[in-house]
Structure 1
């Protein structure tokens, strides 16, 4: 019998050992307060004895305990017993995916594709949720994926039940141990067979590491083995760094391409989210062809296995997702087109943040005329009625009529602040004057000028905001700072630091109401300083002050853009989506303000905790939104979308449809917008 069996840890009586691994032993137990069976994980490493490390362990453990997802194991409690971390968590009887795959391999069985898709979809939802909470797992592998069913424990030698669900364990555990313990397992954390190349090098990691590990799990579910194996851990890590994954027999080339992208050596080439990877895997499995985007990235991934210059590496790091718009196949010059055909978009220009705000443009086409030999397409950005012009580069053709260009402003300027027109021209190869247009314009898009005024207020600059901030930027940054203040508030409360907590309450109130609210924007804690980490504009409206608060001001200008007589359907749709998300933020912000004012009046003590927890939930909803309908998406609908959603759809308002011909202004929409 283990020395832990029969002991009491906190409110849990420890029973028999049920698993043992390199980092921990796992026991079953009985939680006397919850009156339920639990799992107790006893870590082998010890937390350094100084108080700072103890506090850090508790902070990290609370972060893990706050995760709430049906496919993530629930952490109920945590203790330090003589310096040894003990975690009390949900008990999932049965086997792990790792145990089941080993048994299936011995039987010569493979998981059905439908089961692989089902497991993968749930895992992706859990991983993306944790990433949205700024937590990276770092050790995703089948052994950390438990299998459960409503019909009882999953048996290792029986077919998986139809309702089988994976449950990820150990989320955040590697980070917790790395930051607080005297580890005995070395400085490279993770399991060699599932580690990303950046983990193998000991580099800084992010969510793309989990995408890579999930790709290894997918590979193993399909092939019955991991892609990289060797006689030593060092040999495995070298294969992660230098070798492409071996092709899986009996799967389509398109499915292999999906896996190859997930397992790209360069994190920038991998999918941006687990859901994106799973969606393409399922689409290809159901008969669709793999996207041109993934084909392009996979070519880069194969090239990245070879030695490459630092310049090429930097370029790859700047590549991100773009969308191919398949609306028309047009093989004629504009003069040969009917007006109805000429108004059909053959591509679009969209904008994103890269090194700075709105400094990246992605231009995609499908339906361009076939080029004559010795010519190419160049893309230009124009401003001030054509007085300023910048060559964005040559369109890279992916077929005779399709192409794309990703442009990142080297000066990091907001592209939409300088330019309002995109133009594509036919240029001769080996052009001696690449910065001079031939004037042979084949396609263009002029941003509707009346709508542009207010779109620029939302996305570029608004004179009524501090430092002329763009309204959507100020909205998001203020919401982010409020969330930081609430996190700090909760931490100060846990640390019994009343002075710091009172300061954080003041920050929350002042950032919500803004400096124009003379009644509520003040020195609440009486330390002689008005604390406000934001720019003083506030989120909420001050009824006595015109143009105050990012929420009402951003909402108004999103509405004004949609109401412009030349606003396109895209502007109207995404204006409405942005307004819905902002409305949600307003309701949650008003609730948060009420709670902060209530907390300010409370005496310091345990009765504050429930209010603080409510504030923590609300500040997260303001920033990230919440999935109220359980479809694993946060959408621009009432009660769901928050700051993230408002930011995303505000950028969609700036998308420019590309039309055949010169100086083309897109057709305005017919619909009207309801007043906010």
Structure 2
């Protein structure tokens, strides 16, 4: 039996390699179709609910389902957001509220959507991740300062405290407006002013002259909490490429500025009212304090379009708080599709690519040798 030419062996080997690792393995597997966002809101308590909205999502294959997850900064805690249903039009509208009342901004910084078997005996997420989103760490630090962690270790944030102090000041201003004596009115307006100013404020003190400084607030004051809205800008600076954080940081700044200016106006009217001797005149001025504190807390529909917008002259402390939550919006994007592991040998994309290159190289080498042999035979 004559020996098999070397070129024939090379070509045969190359064809075998290409059959085992087809050229299609050189192409990218693509990503899971669909995109959207997830954002946190208040439901039963602060920041305890997350809503996922997506479009263009492929229906899961038979025997599988999508499941959402919130993942902690250190990735040690993974909380299921339950099974996510996809409409026939590829639309997802899924809401989850923590049954334990967890603050989802305080505890987590990542969202995953995985592909799970049905039924699924494993309570942990699978390795097949279809979509993911994460808030940049530096930005999340300051978002938490605004909402849930200021000062560090606290369960409340800057804007949470701003709302609470405005609610306290407004309650005292309402009591002043309803007072029947000048002494009672002065007492409640002193409390309102001290809540607005804080202990270091220029107008803080025994404003009704009864020998006692009364302050039912936290001592920091509305104006200081409003000034600390600057952490929205810090968050935006920490993630300069994130347009969502930039947009809502601007909204926090504008709405927080409104809250501060209205609180200043409320304080000024209260200081004038305290000096009145006639209770009716004082109550009219106290009404102005109530109106300005109401706007500072809730915002004001200045243009009458039925919506309090996060712009100068409209948004208040509640608006600033809501847009701080929107700064923590997750952009959900598809991840590269990977083949699930099987019981047998499953080549990885890298292995396939290397094998494909090897196969092509062998084909070229075999063809070159074959040409040389043909030329040599013709020359003879």
Short-chain TM bin: 0.7 to 0.9
Distance (whole Å) between structure 2 residues aligned to residue 536 and residue 424 of structure 1: 44
Q: Are 2:220 and 1:551 equivalent residues in the alignment?
A: no
Distance (whole Å) between structure 2 residues aligned to residue 345 and residue 369 of structure 1: 7
Who is 2:271 aligned against? 597
Residues 463 and 334 of structure 1, relative CA distance in 2, 3 Å threshold:
farther
Going by fraction, where is helix more abundant, 1 or 2?
A: 2
Is the CA contact (8 Å cut-off) linking 1:581 and 1:641 kept in structure 2? Answer: yes
Is the CA contact (8 Å cut-off) linking 1:376 and 1:426 kept in structure 2? Answer: yes
Who is 2:242 aligned against? 568
The alignment yields a C-alpha RMSD, in angstroms, of 2.3
TM-aligned CA deviation for residue 440 of structure 1: 0.3
Residues 469 and 334 of structure 1, relative CA distance in 2, 3 Å threshold:
farther
Who is 1:81 aligned against? none
Q: Are 2:107 and 1:418 equivalent residues in the alignment?
A: yes
Is the CA contact (8 Å cut-off) linking 2:136 and 2:239 kept in structure 1? Answer: no
Aligned residue among 458, 463, 480 for 2:146: 458
SS at match of 2:53: strand
Is the CA contact (8 Å cut-off) linking 1:393 and 1:405 kept in structure 2? Answer: no
SS at match of 2:261: helix
Structure 1 length-normalised TM: 0.44
Residues 345 and 531 of structure 1, relative CA distance in 2, 3 Å threshold:
farther
TM-aligned CA deviation for residue 386 of structure 1: 1.8
SS at match of 1:335: coil
Residues 335 and 528 of structure 1, relative CA distance in 2, 3 Å threshold:
farther
- CA deviations 1:45-94 (Å, max 9, x no partner) are xxxxxxxxxxxxxxxxxxxxxxxxxxxxxxxxxxxxxxxxxxxxxxxxxx
Distance (whole Å) between structure 1 residues aligned to residue 63 and residue 34 of structure 2: 26
Who is 1:67 aligned against? none
Aligned residue among 364, 373, 391 for 2:80: 391
Who is 1:515 aligned against? 199
Q: Which has the higher contact order (CA 8 A, sep 6+)?
A: 2
Structure 1: runs of 5 or more not aligned: 1-332, 541-548, 663-676
Is the CA contact (8 Å cut-off) linking 1:377 and 1:424 kept in structure 2? Answer: yes
Residues 381 and 498 of structure 1, relative CA distance in 2, 3 Å threshold:
same
Who is 2:98 aligned against? 409
Distance (whole Å) between structure 1 residues aligned to residue 242 and residue 34 of structure 2: 12
Residues 464 and 500 of structure 1, relative CA distance in 2, 3 Å threshold:
farther
1:57-76 to structure 2, matched below 5 A, reads none
Distance (whole Å) between structure 2 residues aligned to residue 345 and residue 479 of structure 1: 42
TM-aligned CA deviation for residue 480 of structure 1: 1.7
Q: Are 2:137 and 1:449 equivalent residues in the alignment?
A: yes
- CA deviations 1:243-277 (Å, max 9, x no partner) are xxxxxxxxxxxxxxxxxxxxxxxxxxxxxxxxxxx
- Larger C-alpha radius of gyration, 1 or 2? 2
1:18-33 to structure 2, matched below 5 A, reads none
Distance (whole Å) between structure 2 residues aligned to residue 457 and residue 568 of structure 1: 18
TM-aligned CA deviation for residue 474 of structure 1: 0.7
Who is 1:176 aligned against? none
- CA deviations 1:226-257 (Å, max 9, x no partner) are xxxxxxxxxxxxxxxxxxxxxxxxxxxxxxxx
Is the CA contact (8 Å cut-off) linking 1:334 and 1:660 kept in structure 2? Answer: no
Who is 2:188 aligned against? 504
Residues 612 and 439 of structure 1, relative CA distance in 2, 3 Å threshold:
same
